[in-house]
């Protein structure tokens, strides 16, 4: 029998010393909407410290009992403690995706941080100094991570988690000068080619809430500052997926 999976998504918690109450309305929204899974789209912490990750994980897992999937963001890298933060989250029961995939209730999920570099004809190319080539290769590597994660999924419904935007549509509203630092169109190509149901990302606090891949699949910017500005009483984006057991694994 077909069944509906309700996905709640939010990014950019920036959980830190001055923002520890940020989770209260999010956890309440998960409960009120009867979400089956919660997606966290990077910048979980403010300064990328183990202390922040410990407090965040403790509040998350004690506040709700649904599966929690996450990708990290640039703020989570700030203190060079990514391995520690990832371990704390995973030990607490949060599934951190970094080129990984998993399945929950018949829906496939694939995630990676992504990277910046710009969009379309404005994307930075791997030309010139070694540091420029290294910068571009980081975006390419993140796209390859996502491609590999998606290729492992066998579900008909496939949801992608990113921190950085894969399309320019959802960063519109930010100053145009910083567009290249908000995402990369290199992330978009494997998503459209392999086929996805929807993409969620954060990072663009002043961006637009929705865009499209070239395949037509929706892309949602679920940065918390954006969500609360659009709807102060609803700090998560709710997305429903209809799963047909007869087509599962197709």
Domain assignment present for residue 217? The answer is yes
pLDDT of residue 20: 62
**Least trusted range by pLDDT, from 173-182, 223-232, 237-246:** 237-246
Instruction: Give which of 187, 195, 190, 27 is closest to 108, Cα–Cα.
Output: 195
Domain assignment present for residue 78? The answer is yes
Query: What domain range includes position 227?
Result: 3-243
Instruction: Give which of 23, 55, 54, 52 is closest to 40, Cα–Cα.
Output: 23
- Yes or no: say if 164 and 113 are a contact pair by the CB < 8 Å rule: yes
pLDDT of residue 218: 98
- Quickly list H helices, 73-187: 82-91, 130-151
Paired strand residues for 162: none
Q: How confident is the model at residue 249 (pLDDT cuts 50, 70, 90)?
A: very low
pLDDT of residue 19: 64
The continuous run of DSSP H or E covering 39 comes out as strand 37-41
Give the total number of structural domains in the chain: 1
Mean pLDDT, range 97-101, rounded to an integer: 97
Domain assignment present for residue 35? The answer is yes
Percent of all residues in the chain with a pLDDT value above 90, rounded to a whole number:
89
Residue at token pair 């989770």: 23
Distance CA 5, CA 116 (A): 31
Mean pLDDT, range 224-242, rounded to an integer: 95
CATH number at residue 31: 3.60.21.10
Mean pLDDT, range 49-77, rounded to an integer: 95
188 pLDDT higher than 80: yes
pLDDT of residue 234: 92
pLDDT digits (tens, 9 = 90+) for 5-29: 999 999 999 998 666 688 999 999 9
The phi, psi pair for 47, rounded to 5°, reads -115, 5
**The sheet that has 157-161: what strands, in order across it?**
100-104, 107-111, 157-161, 198-201, 218-221, 210-212
Cβ atoms < 10 Å from Cβ of 245: 10
- Yes or no: say if 113 and 142 are a contact pair by the CB < 8 Å rule: yes
Domain assignment present for residue 249? The answer is no
Paired strand residues for 5: 241
Mean pLDDT of the chain: 94
Distance CA 153, CA 76 (A): 27
pLDDT of residue 119: 95
Mean pLDDT, range 190-198, rounded to an integer: 96
Domain assignment present for residue 181? The answer is yes
Q: How confident is the model at residue 63 (pLDDT cuts 50, 70, 90)?
A: confident
pLDDT of residue 2: 87
Burial class (CB in 10 A: 0-12, 13-18, 19+), 140: middle
The continuous run of DSSP H or E covering 109 comes out as strand 107-111
């Amino acid at each position: 029998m077909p069944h509906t999976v309700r996905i709640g998504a939010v990014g950019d918690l920036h959980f830190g010393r001055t923002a520890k109450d940020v989770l209260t309305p999010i956890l309440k929204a998960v409960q009120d909407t009867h979400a089956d899974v919660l997606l966290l789209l990077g910048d979980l912490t403010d300064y990328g410290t183990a202390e922040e990750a410990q407090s965040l994980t403790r509040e998350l897992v004690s506040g709700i009992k649904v599966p929690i999937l996450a990708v990290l963001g640039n703020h989570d890298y700030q203190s060079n403690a990514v391995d520690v933060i990832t371990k704390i989250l995973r030990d607490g029961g949060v599934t951190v995706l970094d080129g990984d995939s998993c399945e929950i209730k018949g829906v496939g999920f694939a995630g990676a941080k992504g990277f910046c570099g710009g969009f379309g004809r404005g994307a930075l190319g791997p030309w010139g100094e070694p540091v420029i080539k290294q910068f571009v290769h980081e975006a390419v590597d993140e796209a390859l991570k996502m491609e590999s994660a998606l290729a492992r999924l066998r579900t008909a419904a496939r949801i992608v988690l990113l921190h950085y935007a894969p399309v320019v549509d959802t960063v519109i509203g930010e100053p145009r000068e910083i567009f290249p630092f908000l995402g990369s169109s290199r992330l978009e190509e494997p998503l459209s080619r392999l086929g996805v149901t929807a993409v969620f990302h954060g990072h663009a606090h002043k961006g637009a809430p929705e865009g499209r891949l070239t395949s037509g699949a929706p892309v949602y910017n679920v940065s918390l500052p954006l969500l609360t500005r659009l709807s102060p009483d609803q700090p998560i984006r709710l997305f429903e997926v209809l799963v047909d057991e007869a087509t599962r694994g197709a």
